[in-house]
Amino acid sequence: MLIFAATQALPGDVVQVVFGKDATREQIEMVRGQLNLDKPLWEQYLLWAGSFARGDLGISFVSQTQVIEVLTSRFGNTFSIVC
């Protein structure tokens, strides 16, 4: 719950980050639907928690790959630094 609350508390709008200030109404509505941002907060949390529990962390906006793949590809280097 803390992770979800922290991401909700961040300033700004993720849709504006994805498309910038020149986003059309259709683009904004499409992305909000894809990210479930058009649903009530409690439903967003349940969807997010279910995905998180399955290990589905979504798609990276930067690399356009699965976030879990990005994390696991860097785990070896991080582990070697920590140990």
Say how many C-beta atoms besides its own lie within 10 A of residue 31's C-beta: 19
pLDDT at 21: 80
Q: Where are the domains of the chain?
A: 2-82
| CA-closest candidate to residue 60, choices 41, 47, 73, 50 | 73
Structural contact between residues 55 and 43, judged by C-beta atoms closer than 8 angstroms: no
With a pLDDT cut of 90, the percent of the chain lying above it is 19
pLDDT band at 61 (very low <50, low <70, confident <90, very high): confident
- Top mean pLDDT of 22-26, 27-31, 50-54 is at 50-54
Residue 15's H or E segment, with its range, is: helix 14-19
